[in-house]
Amino acid sequence: MSDPQRRYRLHLESKSRQAPAFHLVPAAWRDASLRHPELAQLLDVSFGWNGERFSAPLDDVDFLLASRFPHDAVNDARRLRWIHTTGAGVDQLWPLDRLRSDLILTNSSGIHIDKAGEFAQMALLMLNAQLPAVLRAQQQHRWDARLTAPIRGKTVLLVGLGDLGQAASRAAAALGLRVVALNRSGRAPASLPPGTPGAPDVLAPVSELDVWLPEADFVIVTAPLTPATRGLLSADRLATMRAGASVVNLSRASLIDYPALFERLRAGTCGGAVLDVFDPEPLPGDSAVWDVPGLIVTPHISCDAPDYNQRVLDAWFGNFARWLRGEQLANVVSREHGY
């Protein structure tokens, strides 16, 4: 157990190009400290912008809260023991094996599952009602009345069953969909055991993707981006999807062959797509992606909320309490698996 009387130095790093809801500024810290006063009083806090703090040694820092950082800066900070990222994905920090071996890396996975579930449910209902085509007809001043079957009883394939995937599973189950989920191991996570309301009807390893992909009416991608998942939904795999099946991506653009998906949308063989992630971001204004028929573009907002910085800080305080008790921290990132 750590010394409860010791004071610790925490550095909070923000990026000015992000919306204020993501900024870890003194006002945000004060609000969070009011909810965790006994923990906050043990901390001396500093604030930085756009990585400027990393140009000087971090010799006085015990903990770092940031979205990204130079590997050399944290490796040379010998007092630094724990880094917490403000998001769930850590692909921006690759290669993870370049981080000092004794550094603990945690992420903010799970802080936005309520929003993720709502977004997944919205996307499923939009795609089932063929809203992308209806909206395009509206822009063209065309009356395009489409008859669509109820969503209940259709099949959704979840690629990934972490916190986002579990939120999507609950959302889909609430709509009466048959939920098939794939993850690396094929085993149910402890937080969503079989039989739990919202648990998948079928759970299989991602190695069976080729078996289940042709069965799906909807595919929702929530798996983290790792070397193993990059390009997972390739052109060849997309070609095996049934005609009219739709795609939702809440993870990272690189998991899907977007050019191949766009060709399927243009050809009318894909029923529609809701994509929340792109590369690069923001999507350039002159990108041809904006005009792909059947596509709904959302600007990486599926998991965001006005109180995002408070959710991050609450998660950090929860882990700080575990640190002081000498317990295993939540959301520790595996260097081996990349999430």
pLDDT at 287: 98
pLDDT at 282: 96
Residue with the two structure tokens 């990059």: 230
List 38, 208, 281, 327, catalytic entry: 281
List 9, 81, 300, 322, catalytic entry: 300
Residue 246 neighbours by CB distance under 10 Å:
25
pLDDT along the chain (339 residues), means of 10: 78 96 98 98 98 94 97 96 96 94 97 96 99 96 96 99 97 98 95 91 98 99 96 99 98 98 98 98 97 98 96 99 98 93
> Is 252 assigned a catalytic role?
yes
Residue 91: both structure tokens together: 């692909």
> Is 337 assigned a catalytic role?
no
pLDDT at 3: 64
Q: Compute the Cα dihedral for 24, 28, 29, 33 and give only its sign.
A: negative
Q: To 5 degrees, how large is the angle CA 198–CA 162–CA 294? A: 80
Topology classification of domain 8-110+306-325: Rossmann fold (3.40.50)
Q: Which helix (H) or strand (E) holds 259?
A: helix 258-267
- The full set of domain ranges for the chain reads 8-110+306-325, 112-297
Contacts of residue 217, Cβ cutoff 8 Å, sequence gap at least 6: 154, 155, 156, 242, 244, 245, 246
SS3 25: coil
- Spell out the CATH class of 112-297: alpha beta
Percentages helix, strand, coil for the chain (3-state, rounded to 5) are 35, 15, 50
Please, are residues 320 and 39 in contact by the beta-carbon 8 Å criterion? yes
Q: Which helix (H) or strand (E) holds 174?
A: helix 163-174
List 11, 252, 264, 311, catalytic entry: 252
112-297 has the same fold as 8-110+306-325: yes
- Eight-state DSSP code of residue 233: B
Residue 26: both structure tokens together: 């003194």
pLDDT at 226: 94
Please, are residues 45 and 10 in contact by the beta-carbon 8 Å criterion? yes
pLDDT at 56: 93
Q: To 5 degrees, how large is the angle CA 208–CA 213–CA 218? A: 135
| pTM reported for the whole predicted model | 0.94
pLDDT at 4: 58
Q: What is the β-pairing status of strands 82-85 and 178-183?
A: unpaired
Residue with the two structure tokens 């243009």: 266
> Is 263 assigned a catalytic role?
no
